[in-house]
Every structure is written in structure tokens, then in C-alpha cells.
Structure 1
Amino acid sequence: MQTKKYFVQDIRAGQQIDDTFMVIRARQAQARNGPYWQLTLQDRTGEIQARVWNPLSRQFQDIPQEQLVRIRASSQVFGDQLQLNIDDMHFIDQDQADPGLFLPVSCTPPEELHQNLILFLQQNVSYPGWKKLVKKILTREEIKEPLLKAPAAKSIHHAYMGGLLEHTLSVCRICNQICDLYPDLDRDILLCAAALHDLGKTMEILPGASRDYSHQGKLLGHIFLGLDMINPFLDKAKELDEDLIMHFKHIIISHHGELEFGSPKRPKTREAFVLHFADNLDAKIKTLDQALAGGDESEESAGTWSDYQRSLGRFVFQPARTPRPPESPREQGGKKEGQCLLPLKE
């Protein structure tokens, strides 16, 4: 089993690298002294550019996407960008390495996120019909396994293994807090819809480094795919009457908010509006955190701007923070671990 010593985030100019990486992109080009390969390599911490020069480049007729490669290389800065010049390279079989070393993954293990989601729903959903439905769906093995690996998006937010579960749990928590502010909301149906609103992404986005869209994803989309997965369970849910089921389906199919954003219907109930805004809020905050280098709250980062964010149509700013009073020892002991962010690139 291959292990790793050098991760992308730790590589600096002037190092000699002997390690395993995953090929994300490969393109053959021509230089004055012959053909060469332009590679983008990845591990779980990020991506780095690499070059395979002539004559070594001639040994490879093809370099497949998601191929694991063992390389010996030197790191250097070229054109203000760090890259690896590869002196030796050979292919590694996928079963010789832990995929978690090469694919970005949530900081909380996906299995733990799944358990936390089940526990949260069992503690906060009261009506037996909804409680049984959501547990049956999320614990069904053919649903659970792809859910553990699924990203929440291809590139914009939570685009890593476990990302869909992380996003789903956050949306559920936001909805639960909003129900405390507005007690007339139907908490049970809202939390169940929040837990299942993006289930179709397990079929829409392919697992692996490419995070490409499947044929089903391109043709049908995750909203339709998700309802198609849920419908067989709804058909057997004898404790849920037709009006509840109709409302539940409406909350899910309208969660994108507007027709131009892929929503078959616009929200028309309070619960549907809440899920739409909670979903959008979590996605936007995650996007901002990633844009601002992981949400660094240090004084040194105050007053800095992000790169241009295409998904937001703007640059975003890291302002100075209001000073916080010193925490008591009791508060420090009970402080929750902050959300971890991964270095992601579009």
C-alpha cells in the first residue's frame, strides 16, 4: 500500500519530491526539443502543475485521468507558479493506495457526518411517519454508500467527498434554528425535506476526482433524480396522508427558488421558502469561506480581497473583526471545533 510523505499544500520551491499523486488533467504539447506532457496533479490537499519533458515524455502514449503516478521531481517557480519538473514517473494501480490520500474529503469523516445526521433527525423530528421515512431512506445501503462519497457540487461549494453530507447537516441545523424563531413552521416536514433535498446529487455527480456530471445528471438533474429515489418509500409510508406527501414534494422541487435556477416550481409555502433560503445561505457562506482562504480570522488577514469569484460575480472582502472578550476556562473547554475548510480549486 502506497503512503505519502509530500502533500501539495506543503511543497515549496527547491525541493526534491519522491511521492505518489493523482493525475487530474493531462495534455501533450510540443517544445523545441520535442513533445512533453502538461499535467495537473492532485492529492487531498490541493493541485499542482507538473511537466514531463522529452525524452521521458515519449514513454507515455496516454496518461489517463485519475491515474495514480509515482514520480521523482524537482519543484520550482515558473511564471509565478509553482510546478514540478518530473525526472521519472510510472503508473500505480488504484488498489495500491488509499483513495482518501488523493481525493479531497470532509474534515469530519463522512461516516461520522452520516451518524450525526441520523441522530439529529431522530432527536428533532417528532411525528413517527416522518421519523421512520427519513431513517429508512438514509440507512438503506444502496443510498448510504454513494451518499458517503458524494460532493455537494462539482466545484463551487462542498466539492469533496463527504461534502453533500456536510452541507445537508448544516441546512438541517439552519432550518431547525429558524423553526425556533418561527414556531408556526412545520418543523417535522421541513427537517425531513432538508435532509433529503439534495439526495439526487448522489446520482447527478460522478464520484472521483473529476466530479463530472453523469448522463442522468445532465439529462434529468438532481431534483428529479432525488424524487425518483424517494417515491418508492413514500408509496409505502402509510402514516403520511396525501396532503403531507404533496407538500413534502413541493418543498423539495422548489428548493432552488426560481425557474431560471433550475427549480421546477417556485416556493409557495413558508417551509418551502425556508428550505430555499437555508440551502442558499449555507452554499454562499461556504463559497465565501473558501474564497477568503479558509475563513482565516487573524488580524493579518483583515483588509484582504479574494480573487474574482465567478459564481458570485464579484470580489469578496475580509474585514476587520470586532474584538472578542477573553474566554473563561469553562468557555474554552466547551468550545466547539471550528469548521474545517479544504483547499479547493475550480
Structure 2
Amino acid sequence: MNGTKVNALSHFFRGKGRNMVDKQLADFQDGDQVKVFALIKDAQIRKTRKGDDYLALTFSDRSGDLAGNFWDVDEKQEETLKPGVVVYVEGTRSAYQGKPQLNIDDVRLATVNEPNAPEDYVARAPESEDKIKDDLRPFVAAITNPTWRKIVFYLLKQHGEDFFKSPAAKSNHHAYAGGLSFHTLSILRLAKAVCGLYPDINKGLLYAGALLHDLGKTVELSGAVATQYTVTGKLIGHISLIDGEICAACDELGLDQDDMQVVLLRHMVLSHHGLQEYGSPVRPELMEAEILHHLDELDASIMMMDSALAKTAPGDFTDRIFALDNRSFYRPEENKKNE
């Protein structure tokens, strides 16, 4: 991996978000008056039944997201209230169909004298970039098959710093700066544990597939600030993107795309969503591919549940989690970790 590019990423993990209002979005409860600076993560112009425009907005800071509708908007507001800008918003926190929402009273752009830097409102991975790099190295080194090793090294170098600053998703899981590399590392840690229990697993193939499976998200997603799907991401998707890059890497490295080792690695990437209706061109037909699919699902699910439970009082249920079949999860009264 290109050390110069990776070391240059350290500034992405410096500094703390500055907010002139003490509370962050996750601190408010239903019925509370909300007055905060926040990043607009998403903005959609929609129509009321009468045909009037309104903005469906999603606000974000390092504590999480909160959605709300801004009614009776004018053309200037539609033009200026875009994803990626920092605003001052006032309203009331409430709930709709089991999900938190903000009943917006007013929204305006933050001024030059107010905390208006978008990067200050972006959540970051729970581990530092340096630790993620250090912990990834042994997994890369453990890939001894020369074909897989060459392709993994080549593609990680190609993506460079983007791998370490990109989110792993727009909203559901690991949707923060550094989320992609942290999600990848989490899967590799799970893979190591599984390989320790089942010695017949091809560890090198599983590690190589894990390292590459979501690498196309550096192209599919716009970045950590107000993450959106790119045009290329919408039209092609991260699975097809990285499969194409594996083939291109073979051309650059003088490898035969039809070599069985290349085909096995491509299958790991192409099948990791498990089902064709979830975006995989093929279903897993290798043991390592089936394992990668389940580890990917496990890590994403735990992250979503853990994030929701952290915002839930003991004895209550979380808000509904759409990506987990719209279920709520209960946090027991005595929820002591590691017991």
C-alpha cells in the first residue's frame, strides 16, 4: 500500500466538531425544542397533495441523523438548502410511525461567523486511522497466494487514501468517515476467528475477498460529507465496479483473467450480497464466499443494532431499523457489557 497516501490521511481524524449549541441531534427527546447547527445530509424536493413544494431534509452531526419536512419553501430555499451545507435549524423533536422526526420551524444557512465547516459534523470511525492501518497489515501479509496477493496490493494502492476516508454506506451502517476501512477490518477480525475454528477454510481467499468486497464504494459513494450515490455508483454499483477493476488489474499485472485463481477471487466479490435480488450477480458457491456473505451481514447488523441501542434507555425499545426488517430491539434494564 502507498504509505505516503495513507499517512496523509491523518488530518481526517483530527479535531472535534464545534457547535455553538450544547446539544447534538441525538441528545433530544420527543417533545424537546431543538435549536442546533447541523449538516444537511440529504435534501429532496417533493410535492404536497395540493401540488406545493416542500423539502424532505435529513440533518446530521457526529451523534447521528434526524429527518424532517420543511413546508412552504421558496425557490431560494430550494436552491440553497442542499446536501453538504451547514445550517441552523429550529423545531420540535417528535416521532412518526415509530421513527424520530423534526417538526421544523425554520432553517437557515450558517454564517461565516458561525460553525459552518461541514467536516466538523461528520461522524468518524471508532478507531483511529493509524490503528486501522496497523491492524490491516497482518491480514494483507497473510495472503500468500501470489495471484491474490498481487491483485489485492495493486487495488489497495490504486484506491489509496479513499479507502481510509470513505464511508461504507450512505445511511445504514458504518456511514461515517473511515467507515469503509473499519467495516473491512471488522470482517477480517471475524474471519480470523472463524478460520481458527474451521481449519479447512482457505484463509487467504477469505481475507482477499474481504479486503476487496466493498472497495468499489470509493467510487459508488460521493464521500463522507453528505454522502450521496454517484452517477457511476447508481448505474453500475460497487460490486460490478470492483469486479471490473480486478479484471483491469490482471491486464496491468500480466495475469490471465481466466485463471482459476482470478475466477475464485472474482466470485468472492460478485456473490457477497448473497442473493441476486440484493445485488449479487451470482449466489455464493464457494464455502469462503458463503462465509464472507454472512460475516458481512453480521458486522453490518451488529453495527446498526449497537448504534440504535446506544441511543435507547434501558427498558425501552430502539426506533425501528428499516434495514433489519423494520424491527425494534429491546435494551434490557441490566445491559452490562461483557457479562
TM-score range, shorter chain: 0.7 to 0.9
Corresponding residue for residue 64 of structure 1: 81
Corresponding residue for residue 121 of structure 1: 139
Corresponding residue for residue 14 of structure 2: none
Corresponding residue for residue 39 of structure 2: 22
Give yes or no for the alignment of 1:316 onto 2:335. Answer: no
Corresponding residue for residue 261 of structure 2: 244
CA offsets, 1:182-225, max 9 Å, x none?
11211112101111001111112222544222222222221110
- Structure 2: runs of 5+ lacking an equivalent: 1-16
1:289 deviation in Å?
1.6
Give yes or no for the alignment of 1:105 onto 2:124. Answer: yes
Work out the CA distance in 1 between the residues paired with 2:287 and 2:277. 21
Residue 63 (structure 2) aligned to one of 41, 45, 54: 45
Identity level (%): 30
Cα distance, 1:325–1:120 mapped onto 2, change above 3 Å: closer
Residues 54 and 71 of structure 2 are in contact (CA less than 8 Å); yes or no, is this contact kept in structure 1? yes
Q: What is the TM-score of this pair, normalised by structure 1?
A: 0.71
Work out the CA distance in 1 between the residues paired with 2:109 and 2:335. 52
Residue 174 (structure 2) aligned to one of 158, 179, 183: 158
Corresponding residue for residue 272 of structure 2: 255
Cα distance, 1:243–1:156 mapped onto 2, change above 3 Å: same
Cα distance, 1:248–1:321 mapped onto 2, change above 3 Å: farther
Residues 44 and 100 of structure 1 are in contact (CA less than 8 Å); yes or no, is this contact kept in structure 2? no
SS in structure 2 at match of 1:183? coil
Give yes or no for the alignment of 1:292 onto 2:309. Answer: yes
SS in structure 1 at match of 2:323? coil
Work out the CA distance in 2 between the residues paired with 1:173 and 1:229. 25
- Tell me the amino acid that sits aligned with residue 126 of structure 2: C
Q: What is the TM-score of this pair, normalised by structure 2?
A: 0.72
CA offsets, 1:289-333, max 9 Å, x none?
223235x7xxx61x432223322223323346697899xxxxxxx
- Tell me the amino acid that sits aligned with residue 306 of structure 1: T
Work out the CA distance in 2 between the residues paired with 1:47 and 1:322. 24
Work out the CA distance in 1 between the residues paired with 2:284 and 2:185. 21
Work out the CA distance in 1 between the residues paired with 2:124 and 2:330. 26
CA offsets, 1:111-131, max 9 Å, x none?
336513541324433345534
Work out the CA distance in 2 between the residues paired with 1:186 and 1:161. 31
Cα distance, 1:63–1:232 mapped onto 2, change above 3 Å: same
Cα distance, 1:306–1:235 mapped onto 2, change above 3 Å: same
Matches for 1:89-100 after TM superposition, within 5 Å: 89-90=108-109, 92=111, 98-100=117-119
- Tell me the amino acid that sits aligned with residue 137 of structure 2: L
Residues 28 and 93 of structure 2 are in contact (CA less than 8 Å); yes or no, is this contact kept in structure 1? no
Corresponding residue for residue 282 of structure 1: 299
1:171 deviation in Å?
1.0
Q: What RMSD over aligned residues (CA atoms) do the two structures have, in Å?
A: 4.0
- Structure 1: runs of 5+ lacking an equivalent: 327-346
Work out the CA distance in 2 between the residues paired with 1:122 and 1:214. 29
Cα distance, 1:28–1:133 mapped onto 2, change above 3 Å: closer
1:261 deviation in Å?
1.8
Give yes or no for the alignment of 1:167 onto 2:175. Answer: no
Work out the CA distance in 1 between the residues paired with 2:336 and 2:162. 43
SS in structure 2 at match of 1:42? strand
Q: Which is greater in Rg?
A: 1
Residues 129 and 237 of structure 1 are in contact (CA less than 8 Å); yes or no, is this contact kept in structure 2? no
Residues 179 and 187 of structure 1 are in contact (CA less than 8 Å); yes or no, is this contact kept in structure 2? yes
CA offsets, 1:119-176, max 9 Å, x none?
1324433345534432332133xx1233233222222211222111111111111112
- Tell me the amino acid that sits aligned with residue 108 of structure 1: E
Cα distance, 1:263–1:116 mapped onto 2, change above 3 Å: same
